[in-house]
Amino acid sequence: MHVHITYTGGTIGMVDSPHGLVPGADLEGWLTSLLEGTPLARSVSVTSLDPLIDSSNATPLSWQAIVDDLRSHADQTPEAAFVVLHGTDTMAYTSAALSYALTDLSTPVVVTGSQLPLGVLGSDAAANVTGALKAATSGRIGGVSLFFGHRLLAGNRATKSSSWAFTGFESPNAAPLATTGAPWQWAAQTPAGTGWKDAAPYARHDVVVVDLAPGITATRLEALLTPLPEAVVLRAFGVGNVPSQEPGLTAVVERAIASGTAVVVASQCHESEVLLGHYEAGDALARSGAVGSRDMTLEAAYAKVQFLLSQGLRGPELAAWMGRSIAGELTQ
User: What pLDDT, on the 0 to 100 scale, is given for residue 221?
Assistant: 98
**pLDDT reported for residue 326:** 98
Residue 284: per-residue pLDDT: 83
Domain segments of the chain as ranges? 3-186, 207-321
* Contacts of residue 83, Cβ cutoff 8 Å, sequence gap at least 6: 3, 4, 5, 6, 109, 110, 111, 112, 129, 132, 133, 136
Q: 305 to each of 88, 99, 239, 280, 285, how far by Cα in Å?
A: 21, 13, 20, 26, 18
Give the three-state DSSP class for 155: coil
Among 11, 90, 94, 250, the one annotated catalytic:
11
Between the CA of residue 160 and those of 38, 94, 112, 169, 208, what are the distances in Å?
31, 12, 12, 4, 20
CATH topology of domain 207-321: Rossmann fold (3.40.50)
- Other beta carbons less than 10 A from residue 26's beta carbon: 13
Nearest to 144 by CA among 6, 43, 306, 36: 6
Compute mean pLDDT per 10 residues along the chain, 332 residues long, and list them.
96 91 90 94 94 95 98 94 98 98 96 97 98 97 97 98 97 97 93 94 98 97 98 96 93 95 96 88 85 97 98 94 97 88
11 classed as catalytic: yes
Domains 3-186 and 207-321 share a fold: yes
Other C-beta atoms within 10 Å of 20: how many? 8
Q: Look at residue 84 in the predicted model and tell me its pLDDT.
A: 98
- Tell me phi and psi for residue 8, to 5 degrees: -105, -15
Query: How long is the chain?
Result: 332
- Specify the CATH architecture of the domain 3-186: 3-Layer(aba) Sandwich (3.40)
Residue 272: what residue type? S
